[in-house]
Copies of this chain bind each other. A is one copy, B any other.
Amino acid sequence: MVNQQFATAVHILTALAFNKKKLLNSETLAASVSTNPVVIRRLLSLLTKSQLVTTLRGKSGGVRLSREPQTITLKDVYLAINPAESISPRTKNPTKECPVSCSMHSIMTTISDGTQKSILKYLESQKLSDLIKKIPKPSA
């Protein structure tokens, strides 16, 4: 479920928040994350669709946050990346003569939904502006 893509997306947005209004390009972000710029561009496309970042084209172009860091929560990031569900109910056909087997899809769907809700509730409490407070400011 929540995975490396989510971690990388949080890294990208944290870097943009830390650098305030400064435009960063995918190469700079890739160097910070230690990954390939292609990975960054794929995620930036998802983050753009969710209106978390804005891309300015051209030679001196780059990416910046579309909103203030205190209005962006990790739930926004999670939903932008749209990871698979945490617990996937079994898709196999149940054993018809077994009442437990026949009920498991419904039971696991409830558990999956409950888990997902509790994750989202936590992520909603975490703002991008809180994350950047943990990064030491470079000495002038």
Chain A positions within 8 Å of B, measured between CB atoms, are 1-4, 6-7, 10-11, 14-15, 18, 31-34, 74, 86-90, 92-95, 98-101, 103-104, 106-108, 110-111, 114-115, 117-119, 121-123, 126, 131, 134-138
A31 touches B131 (CB 8 A): no
Additional pairs, 15, CB under 8 Å, beyond known A86-B86, A99-B135:
A3-B88, A7-B89, A10-B108, A10-B111, A18-B100, A32-B100, A33-B90, A86-B119, A99-B136, A103-B134, A103-B136, A110-B134, A115-B122, A117-B122, A118-B119
Copies, count? 2
Selected from B14, B87, B108, B118, the residue in CB contact (under 8 A) with A104 is: B14
Which partner residue on chain B sits nearest A94 by CB separation?
Answer: B34
The 3 A-B pairs with the shortest beta carbon distances in the complex, nearest first, are A118-B122, A103-B135, A118-B118
